[in-house]
């Protein structure tokens, strides 16, 4: 009981400090904390996947890119609300994670993390070569979120939204790990055969995102050769009879 009270006290203190930061900090500090909050969401997905589940994945940024480009494309090209764009990004990223997970379902051992490298590289290169997505320069003039006519374009306004989402994500993760599926995730750690049999390496895709999405064109030839070798190895492992 005392331990719970102490933990709740620390959480309350952190919440108070975060709430007061925009009132005393400069614009640079607030913008930096916004970036930290967005990065924390990505790291939280890795904590669940790698830290708790024991699965190694190198393609997390691909899911961030899917979400980022989905929102940007829907709001700029289709003129829809950014709030609808966020929901669309969650849906598309979740479906993408499901599709990728199904394709890598039979992979095991070192082929499983290698496949995540292949997907991460291929999706980044795909986005960088699509004209509708701005190729390697990305999309611009993305409209800001609005709440009852109040624009969240200012970093101080966006600050509270980002950290509320971080708090909700932490609460969700805590409750997930205490639930029945959470105990199953904990049980996957150290069980490579079981992990490969359920294709868990890419299940956390909907929680990730990438703010940039543009890939530098320098050295792209080497990247294509590496990607080709990785994809060939993954395909060979997937097609190998068992």
d(CA 200, CA 98): 10
Note the pLDDT of residue 46: 85
Reply yes or no on whether the pLDDT at 143 is more than 80: yes
Note the pLDDT of residue 91: 92
Say how many CA atoms lie within 13 Å of 104 toward its Cβ. 30
Reply yes or no on whether the pLDDT at 126 is more than 60: yes
Question: Mean pLDDT throughout 149-174?
Answer: 86
Using one digit for the tens of pLDDT, what is the confidence trace for 43-69? 888 888 888 877 777 878 888 888 888
On whether the CB atoms of residues 67 and 93 are closer than 8 A, the answer is: yes
Reply yes or no on whether the pLDDT at 212 is more than 50: no
| Percent of the chain with pLDDT strictly greater than 90 | 7
Domain regions of the chain by residue span: 2-239
SS3 category, 148: coil
SS3 category, 186: helix
d(CA 126, CA 80): 24
Note the pLDDT of residue 234: 40
pLDDT band, very low/low/confident/very high, at 102 (cuts 50, 70, 90): confident
Question: Which DSSP letter does residue 240 get?
Answer: S
Average of per-residue pLDDT values in the chain? 75
What value, to the nearest 5°, has the Cα angle with vertex 83 and ends 82 and 88?
Answer: 90
Reply yes or no on whether the pLDDT at 193 is more than 60: no
d(CA 17, CA 143): 30
Q: 188 to each of 81, 108, 128, 165, how far by Cα in Å?
A: 40, 13, 35, 27
Total residues found in the chain within this entry: 242
Question: Mean pLDDT throughout 75-103?
Answer: 88
Q: How far is CA 179 from the centre of its chain?
A: 22
Measured between alpha carbons, how far apart are the two ends of the chain, in Å?
Answer: 52
d(CA 84, CA 202): 25
- Phi, psi values for residue 240, rounded to 5°: -70, 130
Nearest to 112 by CA among 195, 46, 51: 195
Of 3-7, 119-123, 164-168, 207-211, which range is least confident? 207-211
Note the pLDDT of residue 168: 92
Q: Which residues contact 202 (CB under 8 A, 6 or more apart)?
A: 57, 59, 97, 100, 101, 104, 116, 119
More confident residue, 151 or 195: 151
d(CA 78, CA 85): 10
**Global model pTM greater than 0.75:** no
Note the pLDDT of residue 105: 67
Q: Which tokens in the block code for residue 133?
A: 């997505």
Of 6-20, 22-36, 65-79, 207-221, which range is least confident? 207-221
């Amino acid at each position: 009981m005392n331990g719970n009270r102490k933990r709740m006290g620390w959480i309350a203190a952190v919440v108070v400090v975060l709430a007061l930061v925009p009132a005393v900090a400069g614009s640079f500090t607030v913008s930096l904390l916004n970036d930290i909050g967005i990065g924390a969401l990505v790291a939280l997905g890795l904590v669940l996947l790698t830290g708790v589940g024991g699965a190694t994945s190198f393609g997390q940024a691909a899911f961030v890119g899917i979400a980022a480009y989905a929102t940007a494309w829907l709001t700029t090209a289709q003129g829809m609300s950014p709030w609808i764009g966020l929901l669309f990004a969650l849906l598309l990223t979740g479906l993408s994670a499901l599709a990728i997970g199904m394709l890598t379902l039979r992979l095991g051992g070192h082929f499983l993390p290698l496949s995540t490298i292949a997907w991460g590289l291929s999706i980044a290169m795909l986005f960088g070569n699509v004209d509708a997505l701005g190729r390697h320069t990305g999309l611009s003039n993305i409209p800001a979120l609005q709440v009852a006519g109040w624009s969240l374009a200012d970093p101080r306004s966006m600050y509270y939204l980002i950290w509320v989402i971080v708090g909700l994500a932490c609460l969700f993760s805590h409750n997930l790990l205490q639930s029945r599926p959470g105990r199953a995730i904990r049980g996957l750690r150290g069980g490579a055969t079981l992990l490969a049999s359920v294709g868990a390496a890419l299940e956390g895709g909907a929680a990730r995102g990438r703010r940039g999405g543009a890939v530098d064109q320098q050295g792209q030839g080497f990247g294509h050769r590496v990607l080709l070798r990785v994809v060939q190895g993954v395909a060979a492992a997937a097609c190998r009879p068992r």
